[in-house]
Structure 1
Amino acid sequence: MTDTRVATRPGDSRRAPRARRGIPLVMTAAILWLVFAGLHLALSGRVWWWQVPELVPPFAFVVVPALLLVATLAARRARRATIVIAAASLVLGGGVSGLNLAALWHRPVPAPADALKVFSWNTWYWDQRAEGGRPMPPPTGTPPRDVADFYRYLRDQHADVLLLQEYVYFGDGSQPIRVNDLDRLRREFPGYHIATASELVTLSRYPIVLERGIDVRPWAADDPDTTEPPTPDLPDFFAVKTLRTDVRAGARTVSFYNAHINSPVEPFPPGLDPRRLSRRQHLLRQANLRAVAADVAGNPHPAVLSGDFNASPAMGLLRMVPERMADATPALASLYPASWDERLPWWRIDWTFATPEVTVHEYRFVRSNGLSDHSGQRLVISTSR
């Protein structure tokens, strides 16, 4: 009988099965990630139940395809198809990855002498965690801080306009409690004009000629699930999440929208817990941005919208930012700007947008050194009219 066996080199019988096992695994992973990226682009910001996948760190949309491409190099079969699939998911998800490629070539225009310095910051419940300060329980697991350090940090920004969020305390039962620190603010910022609404406070070195909280209720009235009873001490806490302040600086009037868009989770107790994601919060987030967009559409002045949007670059909610406004991100020098949480800076949820009449000359995130879980946004802007 003729011997039909083919001679093999030592080790071939081990390598071939391993290669056969590896190819389907890598290719399957690439297909699954491509499907996930496609579903994310289609569903994010449109359906409330996609909010859990939205919490993925945005850099995953470039890191995962890149790792799949590297893993494909070890494959012996179907390598070309796997590369195509992984590359397609990289192209598909690259726009929501948070990468700021404009930092490689963007060169800001030098600021004129009359440019405005703006500072926007989520303060993390104002000075509630101050040592020996307010008689409110601090957020769970947060260290105390000194009131003087808090105000020193604000003064050190040397800003003409400060847009501050979470001007609020939380008391027993996690209910919001109104802050009244106006006397202290006037002492710390003599000559500044102050506007407040809900949990927002705006300070301006220049006169404030108009101030109003933007009420979300007309934009949420069609759905009863978005209704929320007012709290006794801060009745507009749920209704107003953006404060518009028009500032008269010389011959120009600039509108500043100080925003704190709702979190994707139920607000009480404070904190990010995916188990508390809800349809109501999703609808409120949309309603707040619709309300802002409507106000901006009827506003003839140059305008800046800045604050805590509770939305990462991977969240489709940002598609609802007013059409007139452009993202200021290209002015950032960082390739992957992140503003939250400072202990693990994987996400960016603090943003600034501006109308075409506004030029952003400088833009950077300023670490709060433990005063908040958010970095501050520091900008230098000017207007063409």
Structure 2
Amino acid sequence: MPYGAVGWATLLWAVFLALHLALNGRWWPWLAVSLLPPLLLAAVPLALLAAAAATGARGAGALAAVCLLAAWRQNGINARALLPRPADAGGDNDAGGDGDGLRLVSWNTQHWNQGGDPDRFYAFLTSLDADVYVLQEYLNGFEGGEVWDIDDEERLRAAFPDHHLCVDNNSVTLSRFPPAGPPVPVGACSLRVDLRTGGARDAVLSTYNVHIPVQLTVMNPLRPAFFRDMRRRAAARDREYAALVADLRDNPHPVLVTGDFNTSAAIGDIRRMPRSLRDAIGACRSLCPASWNARARLRLWRIDWAFTGGGARVGSYRFRDAEGLSDHLVQELTVTAPTVRERGKN
């Protein structure tokens, strides 16, 4: 690539990146742009750096390096996976080790086995053998927003006789720990369940079962209906994030916040999460973690997240194959918090 071409390509990328950093999470039409695979925010400047080195374009190389650093937190790379694992990290994450404390599974079930084999679906759920299940999309529906409520509580209670069942906001939380009160709907799409995790009356861990609405419907982007739908969905996302953050700020308990955020590292909405929370990805051993699309060979987006706060900590964290049952991988975590008793036993 000639010197001039490298310089212009780098300058164009720098302009795009400046717009992305300025508008991302602040201007609703940019939601469509921010759906780009986060890895591009590292791959493009690295390619430009290589081209600059090959052509001797020092100015372009310096600008490409600035671009790489400026967007580093949005590229989805988990550099902490390269660090040595602490001795008390809670078991072998890649091997799915048990570790100490609570074993939790978080999963978007993709319309709760709609059109599939219920026996296979429940066999998979029970094989995960978790202390707490945080499951999203307890509903049936089709693209376009039309959904139907379902009632599978009898089957759930039969499959998980040792778990307490909480259902609301199209979400299911199953726990070996007893709830400290009724489930609390958060916004229109998420659910908080406070769990008694020890003998003391105030030993509570709040679990947040999160499902943020998707950004857009797949349709002709040249039609006005596309932009009306995206603006409506952006407003719904704003309401859900605002309700979640408000509830978290008023919650005095240790918290575990997990689910389908429909938000990648490249989407500015994830910055709305309180700074007091800790992203569980530091406990993951994958350098480029991704949770979607589980049915594709190449997975480029992590849109399922887990956060802890208030003294709760993640010992191990991994994404597990959903065996074709959903387009989301399963999040598996080992969580410790003050007074959490292993596997919910007294």
TM range (shorter): 0.7 to 0.9
Shift of 1:286: 1.8
TM-score by length of 2: 0.88
What per-residue deviation string (whole Å, max 9, x for no partner) do you get for residues 61-91 of structure 1? 1100111112223325xx1111111111111
Structure 1 pair 201/23, CA: closer, same or farther in 2 (3 Å)?
Answer: same
Equivalent residue, structure 1, for 2:326: 372
Inter-partner Cα distance in structure 2 for 1:106 and 1:210: 40
Equivalent residue, structure 1, for 2:289: 337
Inter-partner Cα distance in structure 2 for 1:274 and 1:48: 18
**What amino acid is the match of 2:128?**
Q
Inter-partner Cα distance in structure 2 for 1:255 and 1:203: 13
Equivalent position to 1:103, from 77, 81, 88: 81
Is 163-172 or 339-348 further displaced after alignment?
A: 163-172
What per-residue deviation string (whole Å, max 9, x for no partner) do you get for residues 117-166 of structure 1? 10000001001121xxxxxxxxxxxxxxx222211111111111100001
Equivalent residue, structure 2, for 1:121: 107
Equivalent residue, structure 2, for 1:167: 138
Equivalent residue, structure 1, for 2:205: 254
SS at match of 1:99: coil
Equivalent residue, structure 2, for 1:312: 264
Structure 1 pair 113/120, CA: closer, same or farther in 2 (3 Å)?
Answer: closer
Structure 1 pair 257/64, CA: closer, same or farther in 2 (3 Å)?
Answer: same
RMSD of the alignment, in Å?
A: 2.0
8 Å contact 1:58–1:96 — kept in the other structure? yes
Higher RCO (CA-CA < 8 Å; seq separation 6+): 2
1:1-385 paired onto structure 2 within 5 Å: 22-75=2-55, 79-105=57-83, 107-108=85-86, 109-111=88-90, 115-130=101-116, 146-170=117-141, 175-216=146-187, 240-251=188-199, 252-266=203-217, 272=218, 275=221, 276=226, 278-342=230-294, 343=296, 344-385=298-339
What is the total number of aligned residue pairs between the two structures?
320
SS at match of 1:384: coil
SS at match of 2:293: coil
Inter-partner Cα distance in structure 1 for 2:215 and 2:145: 17
Structure number with bigger Rg: 1
Structure 1 pair 174/311, CA: closer, same or farther in 2 (3 Å)?
Answer: closer
The percent identity for this pair of structures is: 38
**What amino acid is the match of 2:47?**
L
Q: Where do 5+ consecutive residues of structure 2 fail to align? A: 91-97, 340-346
**What amino acid is the match of 2:104?**
V
Runs of 4+ in structure 1 over 6 Å off: none
8 Å contact 2:100–2:334 — kept in the other structure? no
TM-score by length of 1: 0.79
Q: Where do 5+ consecutive residues of structure 1 fail to align? A: 1-18, 131-145, 217-239, 267-271
Inter-partner Cα distance in structure 2 for 1:45 and 1:376: 26
